[in-house]
Amino acid sequence: MADLKTGGSDTASLPGNGGELRQTAAAAEKRLTTNHGVPVSDNQNSLKGGERGPTLLEDFVLREKIQHFDHERIPERIVHARGSAAHGFFELTQSLEEFTSARILTEVGAKTEVFARFSTVAGGAGSVDTPRDVRGFAVKFYTKEGNWDLVGNDIPVFFIQDAIKFPDLIHAVKMEADRGYPQAASAHDTFWDFIGLMPESTHMVMWAMSDRGIPRSLRMIEGFGVNTFRLLNDRNEAVFVKFHWRPKLGLQSTCWDEAVKIAGADPDYHRRDLYEAIASGDFPEWEFGVQIVTAEEADALPFDILDATKLIPEEMVPIRFVGRLVLNRNPDNFFAETEQVAFLPTNMPPGIDVSEDPLLQGRLFSYQDTQLSRLGTVNFHQLPINQAKGCPFQNFQRDGKMQTQVPTGRANYEPNSLANFGEAGGPREDPAGGFRSYGLNLDGSKVRLRAESFADHYSQARMFYRSQTPIEQAHIATAIVFELSKVTIPPVRLRVLANLRNVDEDLAKRVAGGLNMDLPPSSDAAVPPIDMEPSPALRIVGKYPPSLEGRAVAILVTDGVDGTAIDDVAKMVEAAGGTVKIIAPKIGGVMLEGGNKLPADGQLAGSPSVLFDAIALVVSESGTAELLKDSAAVDFVQDAFVHLKAIGFVPAAQPLLDKAGVTPDEWIVALKKGSKEFAKAAATRNWEREDQVRTLA
């Protein structure tokens, strides 16, 4: 009979599986043990009563392993369940000493360790990366004065003004209560029902329906603290502050059709992109900025600074850029770090403080509370990823589930006088250096009211829409048409249309036209919207210089091509900062003209062009003849064309271009030796092509 005792070939050579009874110290270090350190002799077979008999209850090795497995998951986050994260550092480049005592914002040149997690909001932990959604942008700074968690989004405003509406908002956007779908999509009845009934959400809806809702990469999103915070200086003087992140790679989005196809081709598109970029040394970076506003300046703003549905246009209050964030290390373990990280907006070092923003006020309770059910214990701060790393943490809190520390000494109360008797007295409060709250004057009756100053729901939605370029406006209108077309209850659509008339009549007409519905009368706005100055900083198109950095170009190759032609394109792309992937009909690669084999990075059918920023077709005549019979090849080219990407080609590719319906424009570039035209085109998309390939609202 075959010896089934050691099923795995690797384990067969490990001491203990080979029947050796005495082991060296080195071997003991490597050996597999139970959770309690008992060496395991066989990790392939459970303990049975006879070769073909039942498994025995006494097999604690089996029971421990299965039981641990049964409890591997913790509840996923209620929102922002799907996320990807990385380690890095924050470096201050300019001091904010005048405004704050927080050392993280005053010690120029100091590098502070950080852990940043990006997320979608609506989908579950296993959902895809590219739905239309807001992206979370949460950064934990391990500062010398305790952790600072800046838990923001990639959109600077929020759907609601008061925390009491958050559960309703989230219930409305997540899968519907009875049917359990859709997963990770806002295009459904309950979301738009809620939106139509909550005009305060209109401004954020404009952002979510803009191309910001479908980012190309997590490395190419902006970030915002959203809520208004305070900075406090040594004299306890306060200013209001809004926090900003600006991506070094610029802001870039996908086309909707592309985002949908990416979801199928690579559900982990953003996670993979972030991981691979960091693994290859291409570290994502953001500039950190603040908008600072005094109380008097805030009073003069045409909106309430405490209202999270409003932003402060940069043209009104410029952003001061004072630092940078670099992500340079992937997590070692997804669960221990990305899943168990617990962000708390209440984590702030002295010198940073909250405002009375009623949305923020609710968040101050919610995050700590949710960690208790997610991580299961008040001691979640002891998990390595959550521990304050920049300074000690010590107090008289004791015990609790999963206490991993072993506090010493007799005193677990304060005040105590034990230090006077030669014993450890424990830590003491620090009135000068401890956390301070702004001495806000409170005066008023208890009320459940929304301030009058929160009543304008449309002026900034209008400003946002009117600040966009025509192509971006068309995308917003088209996205709303798409979403409302998935709404099955016509009055829900009508209510949204009625609200849109308060934003912009042209937008409302376009959406009504796209739905082929009559425009209903405008809804009543609580206060009439005003025309604010457009803010060009709210655009994507043209905001950042075109770049190939961080972008990927696919070179589609076939048997029989000249290897130097491929090299030329690759060098041109790499010189412009892009990365190159060789795509071939088969993963084993192609036979080049001279008889050398070129391995491929991706197989054509599994690597559609939606995964790349531009494509180059370096194919032979015979290779093209084969490709013409393969829909994957035709889709590869056609999708690149309809997603407005640059296409470089050699003459032999012409029949493929023709079959894919590609018509010439400046982004369809004949590849010529020495010319950099293709790399230049690949750095942007040809928005003007869009009219030709898609019906926009």
Question: Is 163 a binder of ligand HDE (CB under 6 A)?
Answer: yes
The DSSP code sequence of 193-204 is HHHHH-GGGHHH
Q: Least CB distance from residue 575 to ligand HDE, whole Å? A: 36
Taking CB under 6 A as the rule, does residue 166 contact ligand HDE? Answer: yes
Separation in Å, CA 238 to CA 243, 407, 635 = 15, 38, 58
Q: Does 117 bind ligand HDE (CB under 6 A)?
A: yes
Q: Which stretch binds ligand HDE (CB under 6 A): 74-82, 433-441, 545-553, 556-564?
A: 74-82
In whole angstroms, how large is the CA radius of gyration of the chain? Answer: 29
Backbone angles phi, psi at 88, to 5 degrees: 180, -155
Judge if the upstream peptide bond of residue 392 is cis by omega within 30 degrees of 0: no
Q: Would you say 521 and 247 are in contact if contact means Cβ atoms under 8 Å apart?
A: no
User: What does the per-residue mask of binding to ligand HDE show for 274-313, with x meaning CB under 6 A?
Assistant: ----------------------------------x-----
| Calpha distance 581→587 (Å, rounded) | 12
- Residue 48 has φ and ψ, to the nearest 5°, of -125, 155
What is the nearest approach in angstroms of ligand HDE to the Cβ of residue 117?
A: 4
Residue 152 or 323 having the CB closest to ligand HDE: 152
| Residue 378 DSSP symbol | G
Distance CA 543, CA 253 (A): 13
Give least dist CB 139 to ligand HDE, A.
9
Task: Provide the minimum distance between the beta carbon of 375 and ligand HDE in the complex, in angstroms, as a whole number.
Answer: 9
Query: Phi and psi for 640 in degrees, rounded to 5?
Result: -60, -40
Please confirm whether the linkage preceding 182 is cis (ω < 30° from 0): yes
Stretch binding ligand HDE (CB under 6 A), from 33-41, 91-99, 360-368, 426-434 = 360-368
Q: For residue 117, what are the β-bridge partners?
A: 85, 138
3-state secondary structure 234-289: CCCCEEEEEEEEEECCCCCECCHHHHHHHHHHCCCHHHHHHHHHHHCCCCCEEEEE
Please tell me the distance from the alpha carbon of residue 227 to that of residue 360, in angstroms, as a whole number. 6
Over the window 33 to 72, marking each residue x when it contacts ligand HDE by CB under 6 A and - when it does not, the resulting string is: ----------------------------------------
- Pairing state between β 646-649 and 614-618: parallel
Other Cβ atoms closer than 10 A to 587: 15
Among 6, 16, 61, 77, the residue binding ligand HDE under the rule CB under 6 A is 77
Residue 229: CA atoms inside 13 Å, Cβ hemisphere, count? Answer: 28
CB of 532 to ligand HDE, least distance (A): 22
Q: Which is nearer to ligand HDE, 332 or 531 (CB)?
A: 332
Smallest separation, CB 159 to ligand HDE (Å): 8
**Among 259-267, 339-347, 389-397, 532-540, the segment contacting ligand HDE (CB under 6 A):** 339-347
Cα distances from 231 to residues 52, 184, 256, in angstroms, run: 71, 36, 40
Q: Which helix (H) or strand (E) holds 242?
A: strand 238-247
Residues from 213 through 252 that contact ligand HDE (CB under 6 A): 226-227
Compute the least distance from the CB of residue 256 to ligand HDE, in Å. Answer: 23
Measured CA to CA, the distance from residue 632 to residue 630 in angstroms comes to 5
Q: Are 358 and 163 in contact (CB under 8 A)?
A: yes
- Name which position in 343, 380, 454, 612 contacts ligand HDE (CB under 6 A): 343
Q: Are 153 and 208 in contact (CB under 8 A)?
A: no
Selected range binding ligand HDE among 92-100, 158-166, 249-257, 297-305, rule: CB under 6 A:
158-166
Q: Does 136 interact with ligand HDE (rule: CB under 6 A)?
A: yes
- Determine which residue in the list 16, 88, 123, 152 makes contact with ligand HDE, applying CB under 6 A: 152
DSSP-H helix ranges across 487-630: 490-503, 505-515, 563-575, 621-627
Among the candidate windows 230-238, 359-367, 418-426, 588-596, which touches ligand HDE by CB under 6 A? 359-367
| Residue 226 vs 647, nearer CB to ligand HDE | 226
DSSP string, 577-588: T-EEEEEESSTT
Three-class secondary structure of residue 23 per DSSP: coil
Interacting residue with ligand HDE among 80, 82, 475, 645 (CB under 6 A): 80
Least CB distance from residue 122 to ligand HDE, whole Å?
12
Among 16, 17, 79, 192, binds ligand HDE (CB under 6 A): 79
Compare residues 87 and 501 and give the one whose CB is closer to ligand HDE: 87
- Please report how close the Cβ of residue 689 comes to ligand HDE at its closest, in angstroms: 35
Alpha-carbon distance of 340 to 76, in angstroms, equals 10
Which residues are known to be catalytic?
A: 80, 153
Contact residue for ligand HDE among 96, 122, 138, 650 (CB under 6 A):
138
Give every CB contact of residue 174 below 8 A, 6+ residues apart in sequence: 122
Q: Least distance from C-beta 164 to ligand HDE, angstroms?
A: 8
Among 78, 260, 455, 634, binds ligand HDE (CB under 6 A): 78
Q: Quick one: 83 or 550, whose CB is closer to ligand HDE? A: 83
Tell me how far apart the alpha carbons of residues 271 and 257 are, in angstroms, rounded to a whole number.
20
Choosing from 151, 461, 500, 566, the residue that interacts with ligand HDE (CB under 6 A) is 151
Cβ at position 100, least distance to ligand HDE in Å? 20
**Could you say whether residue 370 binds ligand HDE (CB under 6 A)?**
yes
Contacting range for ligand HDE; rule: CB under 6 A; set: 13-21, 198-206, 286-294, 335-343: 335-343
What's the maximum distance between 2 C-alpha atoms anywhere in the chain?
A: 92
Query: What's 215's DSSP letter?
Result: B
| Residues contacting ligand HDE: total by CB under 6 A | 27
Which are the contacts of 100, defined by CB distance < 8 A and separation ≥ 6? 106, 231, 232, 233, 351, 352
> Is the CB of 192 or the CB of 243 nearer to ligand HDE?
243
Among 84, 100, 101, 119, binds ligand HDE (CB under 6 A): 119
Strands 352-354 and 229-232 turn out to be antiparallel
Q: Please report whether residue 362 would count as binding ligand HDE according to CB under 6 A.
A: yes
**Would you tell me which residues interact with ligand HDE (CB under 6 A)?**
77-80, 83, 117, 119, 136, 138, 151-153, 158, 163, 166, 226-227, 308, 341-343, 359, 362-363, 366-367, 370
